[in-house]
Amino acid sequence: MERRPFGKTGLDVSVLTLGTMRLLHGWDAPHDHLPDDSLESTHRIVSAALSAGINLIESARGYGKSERLLGAVLPQIGIPRAHYRIMTKAPPAPTAREMRQWIDDSLTRLGIDTIDLFALHGLNREEHLAALDVRNGVLTALRQAQDEGLIGAIGFSGHAAPPLLLRILATGHFDFVNLHYYRFRRANHAAVALAQALGMGVLIISPNDKGGRLYEPPEKLRTLCAPLHPAQFNERWLLAQSGIHTLSIGLSEPEQLPLHLEGLRATPAWGQDEQEIAWRLEAEESRSSLRDCGQNCFDCLPCPQGIEIPEILRMDHLIHCFDMAHFARYRYGMMRPGDHWVPGARLSCCDRCGACLPRCPRALPIPELLAGAQRRMDPG
Ligand code: SF4
Ligand code: SF4
């Protein structure tokens, strides 16, 4: 499998990363109980991934049993530790002392001496950015652990809106970033470009699930992406973009891996087939008045009710163009007011105050559009 230099981390990483958020029973409590079938399934997934040439495994303190399952399984697989890299993540802790404890916890759970890539998980709010400047705070703990050889390169995962994500990147504190960027969600284009300019490694989070539930594509999207599967097209589109190094594929069973391997077989990533698919997708989108919403326009924010108007209209655009209602309902179902992972109030909260209307450069009838989106995404 192709490997790419992961920015200034100094590591070469495979273009696919094994994400371990979806391991069998991985979220069941208690997290220190590892059922036999979880161990067996994790063993098969990790073995298949490493055998296929994947050399980066991604976990997180917050992924239930994931770190512990990896710690139990990796020594049994018989592949030397030097042949693969481990990335794990933890939220920004309130104090340096707690941050260090969480690093030590991850080392213990993973059963390793060094975490090659350690990321702050979810720098999504202003206070997370401010925490980076606290004397004797999270960065102090990370640098100390780095000096002691407990962690290698330091990065973060960011789920914030583009302006805040850009400011976090611009601090220059980090060697790599994990972010959301996909064919069907390009809002972080500038963040990828800035990360590239800063020499950072760029990992794409969940390209096929958060990128559009492309594992279960609607027939229209399948047809438009033929001869590729939509997930394969999305992956090839990403790998053809400048500045992107690896895509984290979250497997729940090893049988899901061949789709991705098959999709990578032809090189280079971008050729005549891909260009023709791109043209067909663009032709569908060109007819939609919502094509800029949540991609390169966010001007209608803020909504006093907390509705994430651009993101809602981006998803409604995907329904109109590609029949992606299953994805839109899934993402809308994850939205919570004030949440820092997937923020957004219910569409029923729109009181038609009209505050958004004068901000729209396309003069779109936003309350009416949201009412239509509500019928499609929240029919119950
Ligand atoms: S009209 Fe609705 S969507 Fe627009 S700002 Fe008011 S509450 Fe928000
Ligand atoms: S301002 Fe208009 S074009 Fe921009 S995201 Fe909002 S509704 Fe869409």
Give the pLDDT confidence of 159-206 residue by residue, as tens digits.
999 999 999 999 999 999 999 999 999 999 999 999 999 999 999 999
Does the pLDDT of residue 380 top 80, yes or no?
Answer: no
Q: What mean pLDDT comes out for the span 206-229? A: 96
The predicted structure's pLDDT at residue 240:
95
Average pLDDT across the chain, whole number: 95
Choose between 338 and 184: higher pLDDT: 184
Closest CA to 228 of 214, 212, 210: 214
Domain shared by 248 and 304, yes or no:
no
Helices within 24-174 (DSSP H only): 36-51, 66-77, 96-110, 126-131, 138-147, 162-170
Tell me how far the alpha carbon of residue 362 lies from the centroid of ligand 2, in angstroms. 7
Q: Could you tell me what percent of the chain has a pLDDT over 70? A: 100
Does the pLDDT of residue 89 top 90, yes or no?
Answer: yes
| Ligand 2 site, CB within 6 A | 292-293, 297-300, 309-310, 313, 359-360, 362, 364, 366
The SS3 call for residue 29 is coil
Look at ligand 1, atom 6, and give the residue with the nearest C-alpha.
Answer: 353
d(CA 278, CA 310): 23
Beta bridge partner(s), residue 375:
none
Domain shared by 350 and 246, yes or no:
no
Q: What mean pLDDT comes out for the span 97-118? A: 97
* CATH code for the domain of 41: 3.20.20.100
Tell me how far the alpha carbon of residue 357 lies from the centroid of ligand 2, in angstroms. 9
Look at ligand 2, atom 1, and give the residue with the nearest C-alpha.
Answer: 360
Domain shared by 117 and 254, yes or no:
yes
Query: Confidence class of residue 210 from pLDDT cuts 50, 70 and 90?
Result: very high
User: For the segment 247-303, what is each residue's pLDDT rounded down to a tens digit?
Assistant: 999 999 999 999 999 999 888 889 999 999 999 999 999 999 999 999 999 999 999
Tell me how far the alpha carbon of residue 190 lies from the centroid of ligand 2, in angstroms. 18
**Mutation pick for ligand 2 pocket among 314, 362, 369, 370 (CB with most ligand atoms within 8 Å):** 362
Does the pLDDT of residue 379 top 80, yes or no?
Answer: no
Range in 265-269, 320-324, 332-336 the model is least confident about? 265-269
Element (H, E) at 326: helix 325-334
Domain shared by 195 and 311, yes or no:
no
Look at ligand 1, atom 2, and give the residue with the nearest C-alpha.
Answer: 350
The predicted structure's pLDDT at residue 267:
82
Structural domain including 142 reads 3-269
Does the pLDDT of residue 49 top 80, yes or no?
Answer: yes
Instruction: Provide the sign of the torsion angle of the four alpha carbons 88, 62, 329, 192, taken in this order.
Output: negative
The predicted structure's pLDDT at residue 153:
98
Number of domains observed in the structure of the chain: 2
Domain shared by 108 and 199, yes or no:
yes
Domain shared by 328 and 190, yes or no:
no
Atom of ligand 1 nearest to the CA of 302: 5
Q: Hey, what amino acid is at 347?
A: L
Boundary of a domain, candidates 213, 238, 269: 269
Domain shared by 96 and 236, yes or no:
yes
Report residue 141 as tokens. 């703990």
The predicted structure's pLDDT at residue 266:
83
**Mutation pick for ligand 1 pocket among 350, 368, 374 (CB with most ligand atoms within 8 Å):** 350
Query: Confidence class of residue 41 from pLDDT cuts 50, 70 and 90?
Result: very high
Domain shared by 175 and 291, yes or no:
no
Count helices and strands in the chain by DSSP H and E runs: 14, 10
Boundary of a domain, candidates 269, 300, 327: 269
Report residue 320 as tokens. 């109109």
d(CA 146, CA 140): 10
Look at ligand 2, atom 4, and give the residue with the nearest C-alpha.
Answer: 297
Query: Confidence class of residue 217 from pLDDT cuts 50, 70 and 90?
Result: very high
Domain shared by 62 and 116, yes or no:
yes
The SS3 call for residue 256 is helix
The predicted structure's pLDDT at residue 134:
87
> Is 102 within a domain?
yes
Query: Confidence class of residue 135 from pLDDT cuts 50, 70 and 90?
Result: confident
